[in-house]
Amino acid sequence: MNKKILSAPYLLWSVVFIIIPLLMVFYYGLTDKSGAFTLENILAIATVEHSKALWLAIKLSIESTIICLILAYPLSMILAKLNVNQHSFIVFIFILPMWMNFLLRTLAWQTLLEKTGVINSILKTIGLPGINIINTSGAIILGMVYNFLPFMVLPIYNSLSKIDKNVINAARDLGANGFQTFLKIMLPLSTPGIISGITMVFVPALTTFVISTLLGGSKILLIGNVIEQEFTQTGNWHLGSGLSIVLMIFIIVNMLITAITDKDGEGTML
Amino acid sequence: MKKVIAVLLMASMCMATLMGCGANGGGKQEVYVYNWGEYIDPEVLNQFEEETGIKVIYDEFETNEIMYPKVEAGAAVYDVVCPSDYMISKMIENDLLQKINFDNIPNAKANIGAQYYETAKEYDPTNEYSVPYCWGTVGILYNKTMVDEPIDSWSVLWDEKYKDNILMQDSVRDAFMVALKLNGNSMNSLDEAELNAAKDLLIEQKPLVQAYVIDQVRDKMIGDEAAIGVIYSGEAIYTQRENENLEYVIPKEGTNVWIDSWVIPKNAKNVECAEKFIDFMCRDDIALKNFEYITYSTPNDAAKALIEDEDIRNSEIAFPDLTKYNNLETYVYLGEDGDALYNELWKEVKSK
């Protein structure tokens, strides 16, 4: 009984701020302006503009998830090999930027990448040709990778550091070379971390609208932008909610894959 | 026992929320103001608080479309809001505004030029719901060092030469206004053929556009980031102050003449404070302060007479002689279906 009383505030919190809003999304998504039931808002995903925006969002977030994985895995291996004092310092350095607001960091990238921005000014002074990726999908991927990389590094690092050194030593004793040890021991044992990292990068990347607005110059419409516009500009909450439900389905599929591959429940976040 | 505690807990939380809302009942007077971003001299708000003892709670919005659902849903109750022309007619039509008692706002009739009330009739036919605050035009801001030829037409925004050097407005009505005007149509058109032609024009323009932005046009133009941008006249004077290479023109095909006005929403709680606030804003010295800070043209003739700098007082940008231009229009509310059509077409442009 005591435990239940203690959990009451959390229960209340999740009802008020998670369950009720979620129900409201479903209510708006499944009704039209007059309040009658309709599937139109959900089927609206099939229109050319919406499906293109969804496809583009999926494509960009898969690309940035892959880049994050390629960057994060070697880094996590290096981190896991260091001794305690060194690695906590490096992890700290990695988390440090996250203390600053996400929006500000993205705005900073805008200033860095602009035609007359910091990077191009430096390149120009040393006589190199400038780069022009601001307002392209390249800039959006860069923004996603930069913002979400820590979410990939931390779970992978966590699962790698949990691997018993003796297991690796045993593999080497029994004649496995470095590559075999990696493939047969380290990779399988760190899979939960990888899966959890993929989810934590893919989901926010799929739904973002801030990064594409700021770094894409509002020229590239992702599904997140469409939904945001429906709420803030067009004022059609029904369509916005309907499209959110579609997006939720993609996220749930992603999470199901996570749950299936991560049977032991080891894919802990941190 | 368990249930009792849960109920008590719920009750106490509800009480806390209720008390939070009701606290303004006793003693201290407040006014909730909802205005455009960077659209007032902050010093003016302090002065209002000092002179009247009324506390100002001040929120900002970026577009009319962001403001509207908040006021409509009543999520936050504001006493004074500052929407633009077409949005005011939408709010009147949907019964969101209350009539203003001009007897309590003597400065409104005394200081604000009669011609502005005349223009205001396009969206507020009886002049009962709104008090003009700022007005202006939409035009082209260009950088003289990056553009050699004289600019006088919207068509420059479709010139291949300026690929990646063009900034467009990221709002439905303004973007379509440019294309419709270039095609020689009304910017309040509801003709599908005309709108589709405008849409095609905007799609054709998209590869040349560097970015679709709203407030950032100003900073990007000052920072030499682009050669040409679509901008509100009020920003032009500010940008010229910061970067002397910038020039503002009203294109020959015509443009939007807009007025932003103070209104009092129907559900306002502090109407008396709202009236005092609007009256204060219409005082000549206050309007002058605001003009000098935000550089948007003021309809306050008394304040205009107080401007010391003759160049500004006679500036073609701040106070253009509108009789010299053709095809000037003010936005009107297009109705729900009209809005939906514009939004649909704009989405097609943006997703290309």
Interface list for A 200-239 with B (CB within 8 A): 217-219, 221, 225-226, 229, 231-237
Nearest to B210 among A135, A221, A231 (CB): A135
> Is A12 an 8 Å CB contact of chain B?
yes
- Give pLDDT, residue B246: 95
In a domain, A268, yes or no: no
- Give pLDDT, residue A1: 60
Segment B253-282 mean pLDDT: 95
> Is A49 an 8 Å CB contact of chain B?
yes
- Give pLDDT, residue B52: 94
Task: Please tell me which residue, A250 or A242, carries the higher pLDDT value.
Answer: A242
Alpha-carbon distance of A170 to A127, in angstroms, equals: 54
Alpha-carbon distance of A172 to B244, in angstroms, equals: 71
- Rounded to the nearest angstrom, the minimum Cα separation between A91 and chain B is 36
Nearest to A217 among B10, B172, B212 (CB): B212
* Cα A89 versus chain centre, distance: 24
- Rounded to the nearest angstrom, the minimum Cα separation between B234 and chain A is 23
Per-residue pLDDT band at A227 (split at 50, 70, 90): very high
Residue B194 exposed, middle or buried by CB count within 10 Å (0-12, 13-18, 19+) = middle
Chain B residues whose beta carbon lies within 8 Å of the beta carbon of residue A115: 164, 225
**pLDDT tens figures, B131-150:** 999 999 999 999 999 998 99
Task: Please tell me which residue, B250 or A266, carries the higher pLDDT value.
Answer: B250
- Give pLDDT, residue A206: 94
Nearest to B65 among A9, A48, A235 (CB): A235
Q: Looking at this protein, which amino acid is placed at residue A38?
A: T
In a domain, A85, yes or no: yes
In a domain, A32, yes or no: no
Q: Would you call B351 and A217 a contact, using CB atoms and an 8 Å cutoff?
A: no
- Give pLDDT, residue B15: 44
Q: Can you give the residue ranges of every domain in chain B?
A: 30-134+259-318, 136-257+325-351
Write out the E strands in chain B. Answer: 30-36, 55-61, 80-81, 131-143, 166-169, 209-213, 228-232, 246-249, 257-262
Q: Would you call A233 and B63 a contact, using CB atoms and an 8 Å cutoff?
A: yes
Segment B329-339 mean pLDDT: 92
Does B210 have pLDDT greater than 70?
A: yes
Nearest to A53 among B1, B65, B351 (CB): B351
Q: Which residue of B lies nearest to A120 if distances are taken between CA atoms?
A: B225
Domain B136-257+325-351: which CATH number of 3.40.50.920, 3.40.190.10, 3.40.50.300, 3.30.450.20: 3.40.190.10
Per-residue pLDDT band at A4 (split at 50, 70, 90): confident
Instruction: Find the distance separating the first CA and the last CA of chain B, reported in whole Å.
Output: 62
Does A234 have pLDDT greater than 90?
A: no
- Structure tokens, A239: 């369509």
Segment A34-53 mean pLDDT: 94
- Give pLDDT, residue B259: 95
- Give pLDDT, residue A262: 64
**CATH code, domain carrying A146:** 1.10.3720.10
Segment A216-224 mean pLDDT: 93
Nearest to B212 among A5, A53, A218 (CB): A218
- Give pLDDT, residue A91: 78
Segment B166-191 mean pLDDT: 95
- Give pLDDT, residue A86: 76
**pLDDT tens figures, B18-64:** 433 333 445 679 999 999 998 999 999 999 999 999 999 999 998 89
Give the ipTM.
0.86
**pLDDT tens figures, A98-156:** 888 999 999 999 999 998 889 999 999 999 888 889 999 999 999 999 999 999 999 99
In a domain, A24, yes or no: no
Indicate the number of domains in chain A.
1
Chain B residues whose beta carbon lies within 8 Å of the beta carbon of residue A132: 164
Does A172 have pLDDT greater than 60?
A: yes
Q: Would you call B210 and A114 a contact, using CB atoms and an 8 Å cutoff?
A: no
In a domain, A102, yes or no: yes
Does B329 have pLDDT greater than 50?
A: yes
Alpha-carbon distance of A34 to B187, in angstroms, equals: 30
Does B314 have pLDDT greater than 70?
A: yes
Strand B80-81 relative to strand B166-169: parallel, antiparallel, unpaired?
Answer: unpaired
Provide the residue range defining the domain that includes A169.
45-261
In a domain, A29, yes or no: no
- 3-state SS class at A32: coil
Chain A residues whose beta carbon lies within 8 Å of the beta carbon of residue B225: 114-116
Lowest mean pLDDT among A48-57, A83-92, B206-215: A83-92
Lowest mean pLDDT among A90-104, A141-155, B112-126, B256-270: A90-104
Task: Please tell me which residue, B17 or A60, carries the higher pLDDT value.
Answer: A60
* Cα A179 versus chain centre, distance: 29
In a domain, A183, yes or no: yes
In this structure, chain A runs to a length of 270
Average pLDDT over chain B reads 90
- Give pLDDT, residue B27: 62
* Cα A176 versus chain centre, distance: 35
**Is B30-134+259-318 a CATH 3.40.190.10 domain?**
yes
In a domain, A27, yes or no: no
- Structure tokens, B130: 């709104």
- Give pLDDT, residue A99: 86
- 3-state SS class at A70: helix
